[in-house]
Amino acid sequence: MLKGKLKLPDRAKRAFPDRLGSLVAGFEDKEEENRGSDLVFESGEELETIQPNGYGSGGECENDEDDEDYDEKVDRESDLRVRPKPEREGSGSVSVLAAIAADDKRSDLEYELSQPEINLEKLQRIASSGLPDGGGLRATAWKLLLGYLPPSRDLWEKELIENRLKYAKLKEELLVSPSQLTRKKVGALSYCDHPADGVVAGPLKRHEISEEDHPLSLGKASVWHQYFQHTEIAEQIDRDLQRTHPDLKFFSGDSSFSRKHRESMRSILLLFAKLNPVIRYVQGMNEVLAPIYYVFSTDTNEQNAANAEADSFSCFVRLLSDSVDHFCEQLDNSAVGILSTLSRLSELLKANDEELWRHLEFTTKVKPQYYAFRWITLLLTQEFNFQCIMRIWDSLLSSPYGVQDMLLKICCAMLLCLKSRLLSGDFVANLKLLQNYPDINIEHLLQVARDLSSDPSTYRLSLTL
C-alpha cells in the first residue's frame, strides 16, 4: 500500500537509504519538473550545552538580541545540565578515571571524524558506548550513522549543498500557500506584459484565474482543495509541538527563540505529511523529530546549525524508513506492522526469561500492546529524560543490525531490569509501572540490552539486579 508513496530500503543489516531522493515520494518527479528527570553521573561533570550562532533553515541569528532572547539562551544552557552527585568516600578516583575515559573517547572520535575516509564500523563501536556532548561531534556522528553523510569527507560539502537545495525547493513548492503562488504567477505575467519604459497605455488588464486556482473550487486537482486538506494536519502538528518537551525552553515557551524552533519542526513534519499521503502525520512524530533537530541545531559549526532544518528533515525521513510501517494503520496486522513487532518483543522476552514472560502474558495479562506500543513507535522518547534519550539513540543509531533490532533489545532489557517488581505486581500495578518507567542507570540498561542476542535460541545473559 505504500508503493509509490515512500520507498523503503531492504531490511538488512543497515536499513538506511543512501539518498534523500530515494526516500521521499514524488521527489524525483519534482526534481525533473524543476529541470524543466535529571540524570546523575558518577564523575560529577556538567554537560556542556552548545550555543549555536544560527538556527532554522538558513537564516542567521540577529546580533542585537533583546533581553528575552538572551534569557532563553541562558536557560537553554541549563536545560540539559546534569546535577552533580554529592561526593562519596572514594568517589574522587572514580571521577578522575571517568574524566580520563571521556577524554580518550572524545579524542578517538575526533580522530576518526578527521580521516579522509570514515571507518563506519569503528564509528559504530565508539557511538555504541555513548557520544560526548558538545563540539558538534554527536551531530556529525549521527549524520554518518544515518547515511546522510557519505564515509568520504571529500563528498560531504557536495552532498550537503545538494540536499539542502532539494529541501528548499520542496518547501517552496509544497509549503507556500496557493495565494502566494498565484501572486507570483500574476507578477511574472504582469512583468512580461509591461512595456520596457514602464508606461502603460490605457486601462490595466485583469488577469483571469483558472478554475483550479480559485479558492472555492471543489475539484480534487485544485491547489486550494489540496491546501485545505492539510489544514487539519497542520493544526494537529501545532498542538503536538506545544507539548514537545515542555520542560525544555529550547522547545517550549512563547519567546522568539522557541517559536523559531517550533516553526522549523512544523515545516519538517508538514512537508513529510504532504509527501507521504498514505502515512501523512501521526501524533508522536514530533517526539521522534525532537532529538534530531536539537542535536543539529546545537552544532557548533555555524553553517550546519543554520541548516539544521534541512538536515533534520533528511535524517528524520531516513530514521522513519526503518519503522515507517508502524505508523501505517493499514499494515498493523501485516508481517511488517506494529503488531508483528510487538509479537517479536514478546518472543524475545520468552526466550530470555520465560518466568517473567508467563507472568506478564498469562498471570497478570499485561500484553505488550498496553505499554510497548509507545516504546517502539516513539523510539523510547517518552520514557526517559532528554539527556538519556540522546544516550539511548547513540546505541540505536550505531547498531550494525539496524535501529529496530537494538530497540527491541532495549525494550526487553527494560522488562528484565524490573523483573522482581513485575513478578510481585498485579495487572494494575504492572501496567502503571511500565507506562511510567522509573529512573534507572542507563548504562546498565544498555549493557543488559547488548548482552541479549537477536536470535532467541542463542540467548545468553548474566544479569545482576
Are the C-beta atoms of residues 105 and 132 closer than 8 Å to each other? yes
Grid look-up 550555543 returns 51
225 lies in the same domain as 177: yes
405 lies in the same domain as 293: no
- Pick the last residue of a domain from 296, 322, 348: 322
Residue 245 dihedral angles phi and psi, to the nearest 5°? 40, 65
Q: Is the dihedral of CA 107, 109, 110, 111 positive or negative?
A: positive
Indicate whether 178 belongs to any domain. yes
pLDDT at 81 over 90: no
Q: Which distant-in-sequence residues (6+ apart) come within 8 Å of 146 by Cβ?
A: 16, 315, 318, 319, 397
* Confidence category of residue 2, pLDDT binned at 50, 70, 90: very low
Are the C-beta atoms of residues 66 and 60 closer than 8 Å to each other? no
Are the C-beta atoms of residues 327 and 387 closer than 8 Å to each other? no
| Integer Cα distance of 261 and 295 in angstroms | 12
Across all residues in the chain, what is the average pLDDT?
Answer: 79
269 lies in the same domain as 342: no
265 lies in the same domain as 306: yes
Residue with the bigger pLDDT between 334 and 352: it is: 352
Indicate whether 212 belongs to any domain. no
Q: Dihedral (C-alpha) 168, 157, 105, 247: value to the nearest 10 degrees?
A: -10
pLDDT at 298 over 90: yes
| Integer Cα distance of 343 and 350 in angstroms | 10
Outline where 114-177 has alpha helix (H).
120-128, 137-145, 156-174
- Pick the last residue of a domain from 322, 347, 375: 322
CA distances from residue 30 to 35, 159, 459 in whole angstroms, order as listed: 9, 18, 48
| Total count of domains within the chain | 2
CATH number at residue 352: 1.10.472.80
Q: What is the span of the domain harbouring residue 313?
A: 133-186+219-322
145 lies in the same domain as 228: yes
349 lies in the same domain as 307: no
Predicted local confidence at residue 203, as pLDDT: 57
Q: 18-66: per-residue pLDDT in tens? A: 434 444 444 444 444 444 444 443 333 334 443 433 333 344 444 444 5
Indicate whether 406 belongs to any domain. yes
Q: 142-196: per-residue pLDDT in tens? A: 999 999 999 999 999 999 999 999 999 999 989 876 665 555 555 544 445 555 5
Predicted local confidence at residue 362, as pLDDT: 97
- Pick the last residue of a domain from 292, 322, 352: 322
pLDDT at 209 over 70: no
Residue with the bigger pLDDT between 221 and 111: it is: 111
Indicate whether 39 belongs to any domain. no
Predicted local confidence at residue 384, as pLDDT: 97
* Confidence category of residue 419, pLDDT binned at 50, 70, 90: very high
277 lies in the same domain as 155: yes
Are the C-beta atoms of residues 314 and 304 closer than 8 Å to each other? no
Cell numbers that stand for 106 in this block: 572524545
User: pTM of the full predicted structure?
Assistant: 0.76
* Confidence category of residue 360, pLDDT binned at 50, 70, 90: very high
| Integer Cα distance of 182 and 213 in angstroms | 7
Beta bridge partners of 117: 152
Predicted local confidence at residue 348, as pLDDT: 97
305 lies in the same domain as 251: yes
* Confidence category of residue 92, pLDDT binned at 50, 70, 90: low
Cell numbers that stand for 179 in this block: 495565494
Indicate whether 193 belongs to any domain. no
Over residues 317-325, mean pLDDT: 87
